Structure 1
Amino acid sequence: MVLELHVWGPGFSLPSIDAQCLATIAYFSLLVPKGSWTLVASSDPTISPTQELPALKNGSIWVSRFRNIADYLRQYSNGEWDLDGDLTALEKADSVAFSSFVESRAQVLIDLSLYVTSGNYYNSTSPAYGSILQWPNQWVLPPQLHAAAKARTESLGLSSLDLEAVREQQKREHSTAVTAGRIPQNFIRRPRDTVSSLLGKTPQQHQFRLDALTGDLFGPLEELLGDKTHLLSERGPSSLDCLAVGYLSLALVPELPHAWLRDLMLRKAPRLSQFVERLRRELYGTVNVSDAFANGGNSPLPWRAPERARLATIGSTLLNSLADATPILKDIRMNNRLRETAESADSGLSELESRSLSAYAQAQGRDTLLSIATVVGGLTALAGYMVHVGAFSPQDVGEHKHDEHEASETTIPES
């Protein structure tokens, strides 16, 4: 049976716009023989039971996330398809540690570069999604991904404000208020810096902040690579190499209006940059968006055109979007998704973590239902009180309608 790998579609001349999908494609390209798998740019996470991409389908079996898919391939092939099979115990330990390191540190920088930086998101990232998504997902998913990226980076203090235009408008309003004397200078609080505002200032003022974020990622990887052909071993690539090329390709390859992440990577980690560029050319080549929708096209990757969205799928997407935009329903759905993720067999969580997260989601759900019951009870009590004091009664409504009816039948005599 041919394995189906469902991913977010191409972008920036790469076979996917998502780092986990790129890492999984690299893993398949290195291990799985041609003819044994197809690559589907479905770009729709709802096709997977876990609502995530990448997702591997083998008959009725679905597996999502890079690490889970790699584990499944090893079991499915009886150990034949395992990039880490020849690693020593020390190399395997380094692989686990650095894989978590890359996934956490690199994702933050990609979020800042492709989504939080306004010029990059509106001029490059959002149009890239529009070219691979079917209606209505092309209007629904990019804002959701944008908001998720802002939420993931909020703790850094660099994503409090997304739009450059709004930031500049705030500055003009504060300047005008100070000039007019309406607000004393010492009472005006300076807004938190954002990536966009950082990029608009001189490097001497704030370059060290971006240097610290990028240096924490690129420095250790540059040192780990050294003069080797791969990150862990001269013997060949490992799963860590796949993750590195997946995440760092999105830092190095995209042509963006504000290419600050690529510039810093080239300057801070020249050997690592050459390694990523070499490996991504070997594994991906140069991908056109049309390749993913033409059953292969001129790409070396085994593309299979995704199916057109059915009417039922479109209706479900619209209803889900409406539900996620409704405050109470949004909270209920979010808690349900969190609980399902915690209880999923391929969640990647330990048994203790799964139980704790599930209990938290259930408690949040109960709190939401209690809030709803409190509001409904309060409104009911208010209506009962108004009826009791005579401020409102069904009889008043009937008399009011009767008076309106009589007034409508009254005619003005002709003079």
Structure 2
Amino acid sequence: MVLELHVWGPGFSLPSIDPQCLATIAYFSLLVPKDSWTLVASSDPTISPTQELPALKNGSTWVSRFRNIVDYLRQYSNGEWDLDRDLSALEKADNVAFSSFVEARAQALVDLSLYVTSQNYYNTTSPAYGAILQWPNQWILPPQLHAAAKARTESLGLSSLDLEAVQEQQKRDHSADVAAGRIPQNFIRRPRETVSSMLGKAPQQHQFRLEALTRELFEPLEDFLGDKTHMLSAKAPSSLDCLAIGYLSLALIPELPHTWLRDLMLRKAPRLSKYIERRRRELYGVVNVSDAFTNNGRSSLPWRAPERARLATIGSTLLNTLADSTPILKDIRMNNRLREAAKSSDSGLSEVESRTLSAYAGAQGRDTLISIATVVGGFAALVGYMVHVGVFSAPEGDGEEEQQGEEEEGVTALPESVDVSDFLGNVRVQS
């Protein structure tokens, strides 16, 4: 049976726009025979039960995330498809340590470069997603990924890269100054800002922080690589090489309006940069977006065109997006996802972490139900009170009260219908 590797589609002259997907593609290219797998640029995480890409499909079995896919390939092939099988005990320890190091540190820098840096996101990253996504995901997923990247890097204190946030803060400060009477409204015309100008005016500690983050990643990897042909040994590549190629390709290769990450990588880790450039050409070749969708056979990768979205899938996507935008439904769905992730065998969590996450999801679910009950109870009490005081009761006897009022004022109420002969008879009697 041919394995199907579903990934985020190509971008930046790379076979995927996502580092975990790039690492998985590199692993398959190094180890799995080309006729044993296909590469599908589905770019839709909902196809996987875990709602994540990369995702490997083998019949009815789905496995997601790079590390889980590596473990599955080892078990599926009885140890034959395992890049780390010949590593020594010390090399295996280094492999685990540096793999975790690369995933944690490089992800933050890729987020800052491709998503948080406003010029890069709006001019390059967002259009790249638009080229690989089908409707309506091309309008839904990029803002979600953008917001997630900003949330992941918020603690780094590098908001100066995000022009949107900086300019919003400037507008708030400007409005506050106008309201306080410190400056006349529209007195100063502010020029259009760029990331370069913002970085130049940003607090100096922001620039130091950016230098420190890149130095903490690139210099240890540069020293660890040394003069070796691979990250761990000169004999053969390992899963660490795949992760380094996947993450650092997105730091080095994309042509962006603001190339601060590439410039720092070339300056701080020249040997590592040459290694990444050489290996990504060997493993990925030259990639065009059309290769993933036309089956033209020009690529060295075994692309298979993704299926077009069905009407039911589009409807489900729209409903899920609407549900995730509704406050109470959003909380309920998030708790369900946490609970499913805690129980999933592909989550990569230990037994203690799984129990802790499950308990947290349960507590959050109870809090959500209590909130719903409180709102419903408060609304019911309000309606009951309004009924009690007569807000919703219709006034009774309006005609009788009106007639009594007219009689009290000396006005005789006219009957609803009058017979002509009776009226003339009454007139004769009175005359």
TM-score higher than 0.5: yes
Is it true that 1:289 corresponds to 2:289 in the alignment?
yes
For 1:146 and 1:56, locate their aligned partners in 2 and report how far apart those are by CA, in whole Å: 25
Q: What's the secondary structure of 1:346's corresponding residue?
A: coil
1:315 counterpart letter in structure 2: G
Return the offset for 1:46: 0.6
Residue matched to 1:14: 14
Shift of 1:201: 1.1
Q: Tell me if structure 2 keeps the 8 A contact 1:296–1:304.
A: no
Contact 1:290 1:297 (C-alpha < 8 Å) held by counterparts: no
Matches within 5 A, 1:13-412: 13-159=13-159, 164=163, 167-168=166-167, 170-171=169-170, 174=173, 178=177, 182=181, 196=195, 200-201=199-200, 205=204, 206-390=206-390, 392-395=391-394
Instruction: Structure 1: state its 5+ residue gaps.
Output: 185-194, 404-415
Q: Distance in 1 between matches of 2:229 and 2:336?
A: 45
Given that 2:118 and 2:164 are in contact with CA atoms closer than 8 Å, whether structure 1 keeps it comes out as no
Counterpart secondary structure, 2:90: helix
8 Å Cα contact 1:339-1:361 kept in structure 2? yes
Return the alpha-carbon distance in structure 1 between the equivalents of residues 230 and 331 of structure 2: 45
Partner of 1:190: none
- 1:296-323 CA-to-partner distances (Å, cap 9, x unmatched) read 5311000000001111101000000110
Contact 1:83 1:239 in 2 (8 A): yes
Structure 2 residue matching 1:200: 3-state secondary structure: helix
Amino acid across the alignment from 1:374: T
More deviation, 175-184/256-265: 175-184
Please report how far the alpha carbon of residue 151 of structure 1 lies from its aligned counterpart in structure 2 after TM superposition.
1.1
Residues in 1 aligned to 2:397 and 2:135: alpha-carbon distance in whole angstroms: 49
- Do 1:164 and 1:197's aligned partners in 2 also have CA atoms closer than 8 Å? no
Give, in angstroms, the shift of residue 177 of structure 1.
Answer: 5.7
Q: Aligned-pair distance for 1:34?
A: 1.2
Check conservation: 1:295, 1:303, Cα contact below 8 A: yes
Pair 182,369 (structure 1): closer, same or farther in 2 beyond 3 Å: same
Note closer, same or farther for the CA distance 1:363–1:180 as it changes in structure 2 (3 Å cut).
closer
Q: In structure 1, what is the Cα distance between the partners aligned to 2:110 and 2:259?
A: 11
| Length, aligned pairs only | 388
Change (3 A) 1:73 1:261: same
Deviations 1:243-298 (A, max 9, x none): 00000000000001111111111111111111111110000011000000012531
Contact 2:214 2:265 in 1 (8 A): yes
RMSD: 2.3
Identity %: 78
Unaligned runs of 5+ in 2: 184-193, 403-431
Q: CA deviation at 1:179?
A: 8.2
Deviations 1:330-371 (A, max 9, x none): 111111111111110010000110011011011101101110
- The structure number with the bigger radius of gyration is 2
**Greater alpha carbon shift after TM alignment, 207-216 vs 54-63:** 207-216
Between the aligned partners of 1:181 and 1:5, the Cα distance in structure 2 is 59
Aligned to 1:191: none
Q: 1:133 to 1:97 in 2, by over 3 A?
A: same
**Secondary structure of 1:201's partner?**
helix
**Runs ≥4 in structure 1, deviation > 6 angstroms?**
none
Q: What is the distance in 1 between the residues matched to 2:240 and 2:124? A: 28
- Tell whether the 8 Å contact from 2:40 to 2:303 is kept in structure 1 after alignment: yes
> Structure 1 residues 271 and 101, CA, compared in 2 at 3 Å: closer, same or farther?
same
Contact 1:45 1:52 in 2 (8 A): yes
Structure 1 residue 162 displacement after superposition: 7.5
Q: Distance in 2 between matches of 1:172 and 1:53?
A: 38
Indicate the SS of the match to 2:309: coil
Cα distance in 1 between the residues matched to 2:198 and 2:94: 35
Shift of 1:219: 1.3
Partner Cα separation in structure 2 for residue 179 and residue 376 of structure 1: 43
- Cα shift at 1:25: 0.1
Q: Work out the CA distance in 2 between the residues paired with 1:198 and 1:331.
A: 40
Q: Which shifted more, 175-184 or 61-70?
A: 175-184
Cα drift, residue 158 of structure 1: 2.4
Query: Using the alignment, how far apart are the partners of 1:25 and 1:116 within structure 2?
Result: 26
Which digits, 9 at most, give the CA deviation of each residue in 1:99-126, with x for residues without a partner?
A: 1111111111111111111111111001
TM-score (norm 2): 0.85
